[in-house]
């Protein structure tokens, strides 16, 4: 069965059932991601003791609003506002993946910078900054306005071009992985990558942790390119 045939099975489901399906999918992504994050930090056995009830409730809320974004994306796809390229051509997949990462990196840098600079919207982002020493679950402690803001940015981007479906799925996995790397307690990126002249542009654990301790720097998500370019980059070690 092709990817298109699999997706067409969803056509027959009513929106409520679809939403529940996406809620389970996003919930599993959160559970697996948080568990791997605590495991990477060496805290797998003690993870339940490190998670508060408030963090669990915010995570359930983020999963809920992420599922609304997923459902909106599916409806846009169904009505051909979002059009995917289902051909499996390796070069196209690679180019589209790079394009998605580069575009979202710039858009999210600007979005993040703006929400820090405008007090009216910062009050929504403040919730995430309640954690100056984040753990993997902090990635999901987000106000619904912020979740929907990032989601709308994403939906606008995938409506503009016909991206490869496979590249889009790889990008979505990359997005969760990079989010988790930024919210670990210990540096995940080895020195050999951090100091490599080609790879040093990628965001590290300390890059985003520094943003939690000093909100005046490091607004990027996947790379430090825009922070270096616009003078908001700082490097400390954890
Ligand atoms: Zn921030
Ligand atoms: Zn964060």
What was the pLDDT predicted at 238? 47
DSSP string, 129-154: GG-SS--GGGGG---HHHHHHHHHHH
* Average pLDDT of the segment spanning 119-141: 92
pLDDT in tens, 185-235: 999 999 999 889 889 999 999 999 999 999 999 999 999 999 999 999 988
Give the Cα-Cα-Cα angle 2, 4, 7 (nearest 5 degrees). 110
How many of the other CB atoms lie within 10 Å of CB of 229?
12
Residue tagged 């954690």 (tokens): 131
Measured in Å, residue 207 CA sits from the centre of ligand 1 at: 12
Cα separation, 101 vs 103, in Å, equals 6
For residue 237, pLDDT beyond 60:
no
116: Cβ contacts below 8 Å, ≥ 6 apart: 122, 125, 215, 219
Residue 236 lies in a domain: no
Measured in Å, residue 227 CA sits from the centre of ligand 1 at: 13
Cα separation, 199 vs 231, in Å, equals 20
Instruction: Kindly state the tokens that stand for 199.
Output: 């790879």
| Domain ranges, residue 10 | 3-230
pLDDT in tens, 32-65: 999 999 999 999 999 999 999 999 999 999 999 9
Yes or no: say if 68 and 151 are a contact pair by the CB < 8 Å rule.
yes
- In this structure, what DSSP letter does residue 225 have? H
Cα separation, 187 vs 209, in Å, equals 9
Residue 84 lies in a domain: yes
In order of 2, 70, 171, 180, 208, the CA distances from 110 in angstroms are: 37, 23, 19, 20, 15
Measured in Å, residue 163 CA sits from the centre of ligand 2 at: 28
* Average pLDDT of the segment spanning 78-94: 95
Measured in Å, residue 196 CA sits from the centre of ligand 2 at: 25
Q: Is 65 helix (H, G, I), strand (E, B) or coil?
A: helix
What proportion of the chain, given as a percentage, has pLDDT over 70?
A: 99
What was the pLDDT predicted at 235? 81
Measured in Å, residue 150 CA sits from the centre of ligand 2 at: 14
Give the model's confidence band at 163: pLDDT under 50 very low, under 70 low, under 90 confident, else very high. Answer: very high
pTM (predicted TM-score):
0.93
Give the model's confidence band at 147: pLDDT under 50 very low, under 70 low, under 90 confident, else very high. Answer: very high
Q: How confident is the prediction for the chain on average, in pLDDT?
A: 94
For residue 132, pLDDT beyond 60:
yes
Instruction: Kindly state the tokens that stand for 135.
Output: 């753990």
Measured in Å, residue 126 CA sits from the centre of ligand 1 at: 8
Give the model's confidence band at 4: pLDDT under 50 very low, under 70 low, under 90 confident, else very high. Answer: confident
Q: Phi/psi of residue 39, each to 5°?
A: -65, -45
Measured in Å, residue 148 CA sits from the centre of ligand 2 at: 16
- CA-nearest of 142, 116, 121 to 232 is 116
Q: Could you give the number of structural domains in the chain? A: 1
């Amino acid at each position: 069965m092709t990817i298109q045939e699999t997706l067409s099975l969803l056509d027959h489901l009513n929106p409520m059932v679809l939403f529940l399906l996406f809620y389970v999918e996003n919930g599993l992504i959160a559970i697996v991601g948080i568990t791997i994050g605590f495991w990477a930090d060496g805290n797998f056995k003690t993870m339940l003791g490190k998670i508060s009830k408030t963090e669990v409730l915010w995570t359930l809320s983020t999963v809920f609003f992420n599922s609304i974004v997923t459902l909106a994306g599916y409806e846009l796809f169904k009505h051909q506002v979002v059009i995917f390229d289902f051909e499996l051509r390796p070069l196209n997949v690679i180019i589209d993946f790079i394009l998605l990462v580069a575009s979202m990196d710039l858009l999210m840098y600007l979005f993040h910078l703006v929400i820090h600079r405008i007090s009216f919207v910062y009050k929504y982002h403040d919730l995430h900054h309640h954690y100056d020493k984040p753990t993997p679950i902090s990635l999901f402690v987000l106000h619904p306005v912020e979740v929907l803001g990032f989601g709308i940015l994403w939906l606008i981007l995938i409506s503009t071009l016909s991206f490869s479906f496979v590249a889009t799925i790889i990008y979505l996995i990359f997005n969760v992985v990079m989010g988790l790397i930024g919210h670990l307690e210990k540096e995940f990126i080895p020195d050999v990558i951090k100091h490599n002249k080609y790879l040093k542009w990628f965001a590290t654990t300390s890059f985003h942790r520094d943003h939690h301790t000093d909100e005046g720097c490091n607004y990027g998500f996947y790379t430090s390119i825009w922070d270096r370019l616009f003078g908001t980059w700082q490097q400390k070690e954890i």
